[in-house]
Chain A
């Protein structure tokens, strides 16, 4: 906590994460799955960056690289100015108390044989965050109140809670050691529609209450991401294709994939829907094992020209922090 407070909490430079594909008895490496292939972005302290994309685009892999659950193949991850890309395991623990994770599935991410209080209090033990038994108990009860759960429920087990309450336990666990960055990996997609809003509001209220709390919000649902995020990065096949403020993304999307993604999300209003332009993409997302040459989106793109298959387009700043990777823009 004594580190100098700078504006950028997370700085990712040219991050690459390749997973080897092996074959045969000797497990020879025959190819790479390029899950994340040269991704660069920054997250400012206290903001929420949304990361959207379809399944297999590498958004979860980025989250796991930041937590160093994977060792990146290349690039740099600077957290609070410190390079954590190749930090040895024994030094990682300190970093991990500062970065927390909220998982997608509130059913499988809680140990069924551990009480809710035990689940929320475990990070406190691991990171030696509190001294005495009563401090521990106080902190757990404080966390329960913070996420809107009754502190008298600490002795209950996960199966006694509803899906929304379980996700609150997940949030409390993430908050336990007062992290500065929380990676939310599809935190609401397993919940019912009427419960999703409760968790979104909880995350927003926590950010208002805790100074400097930063979220990396990973999801496939663009309307949720736009709602909660200050800025949004759109991913396609291991690359960021566009990154800008969430308002600009909706009002002035530039990358053809972003346009298609926006138009694919129906708005719950028939009067608006009548007037909307619909872009229906051809085909499906190709496999990251053998991505198309050049811009990986060009085979499905409605704006593609022959040059698109020549080289990977760089992410260019076109003003006001709006960056886009497309040669047709």
Chain B
């Protein structure tokens, strides 16, 4: 498949009173056409900030300090954040679904007003055409009697329904890439399953690519084709879903898989927690940020800077000096 978006060495930093926070510290990834990728990490690892950076939605005190986002042959980071060119991309060609369906819709505007705005702005539709399209979209995402509900306000919808509206909104301009930032975290289990299936079907139907940003390894195991594991602002392991789960090689990935309970586990299985805490991103040491929690910890780790991504095979890369293969078997 052809490559759709390539992010190279993206760096986003926040200048805070207590110091410099390198929220995203040189990450590179790519998305192919019609692909579903997963971006996995714990809170504060920079997974959301990296996606907001791609969309140029970073506000002060945050700043994108380096890197490239290549989309349709140009570097999006060279475009002015509020210029017409970036606007024609943001929301139209790259759309985003946010975590909180409660807060990401405007409570004082009807669903129709919020959704037609995009269609009129990006596609130049008349308000009548836009309304027709909105009703059609709402029907597609499974909102019953869309025609009568299009003039309702967000509070008249349940959480799951609001997230469906968000999906309809994100798809309204036929985007090429859909970024879903923890799309189902705030929702109930059965609703989560409904929405993830819906999202997968919709990107297939709209021939779009999907980026799932999540902390839930199960979700990416089910839906993603390739996975990037993030820790403290960097990608520590990348590979196909089968590489990551079948042969995890970075100590952090291995640790994560050992510390989550699984439905199909043997009775009496003990979880092996990762010791210590996720790092504070302020004034980080130059060495590997996972080092204090790592059980492999070789001499080289504390002497050399953060290891660069090392190619293992095919699409599988890790950022680690230690030989994790043998111990893991």
Q: A residues bordering B, Cβ < 8 Å?
A: 54-55, 162, 164, 192-198, 200-201, 220-224, 226-228, 247, 250, 260-273, 278, 280-281, 284-285
B263 and A220 contact, CB distance less than 8 A:
no
A193 and B192 contact, CB distance less than 8 A:
no
Inter-chain CA distance A221–B263, complex, in Å, is 10
Interface size range of chain B in the complex = 35 or more
* B259-271 near A? 1/0 per residue, CB < 8 Å: 1111111010111
Nearest opposing residue in chain A for B280, CB measure: A162
Residues of A within 8 A of B191 (CB): 54, 284
Q: Which 9 A-B pairs have the closest CB atoms?
A: A266-B218, A227-B261, A264-B193, A197-B259, A197-B273, A268-B217, A54-B188, A197-B271, A266-B222
Nearest opposing residue in chain B for A225, CB measure: B261
Q: B residues bordering A, Cβ < 8 Å?
A: 42-43, 158, 160-161, 188-194, 197, 215-219, 221-222, 241-242, 245-246, 255-257, 259-265, 267, 269-274, 277-278
A194 and B273 contact, CB distance less than 8 A:
yes
Inter-chain CA distance A231–B277, complex, in Å, is 32
B81 CB to nearest chain A CB (Å) = 31
Q: Given A193-B42, A193-B215, A280-B193, does the pair A272, B277 have CB atoms closer than 8 Å?
A: no
A278 and B259 contact, CB distance less than 8 A:
no
Q: Give the A-B pair count, Cβ closer than 8 A.
A: 124
Q: Given A273-B222, A284-B158, A284-B191, does the pair A198, B273 have CB atoms closer than 8 Å?
A: yes
Nearest opposing residue in chain B for A285, CB measure: B188
A256 CB to nearest chain B CB (Å) = 12
Known: A193-B42, A197-B259, A284-B188. 11 other contacts (CB 8 A): A192-B215, A193-B217, A194-B42, A221-B189, A261-B189, A265-B189, A267-B218, A269-B262, A271-B246, A278-B193, A280-B194
Partner of B270, one of A194, A201, A284, A285: A201
Interface centre among A222, A226, A284, by most chain B C-beta atoms within 10 angstroms, is: A284
> Chain A interface mostly helix, strand, loop or mixed?
helix
Residues of B within 8 A of A162 (CB): 277
Residues of A within 8 A of B267 (CB): 247
Partner of A54, one of B190, B215, B271: B190
Q: Given A194-B255, A266-B218, A273-B222, does the pair A200, B271 have CB atoms closer than 8 Å?
A: yes
Residues of A within 8 A of B262 (CB): 223, 227, 267-269
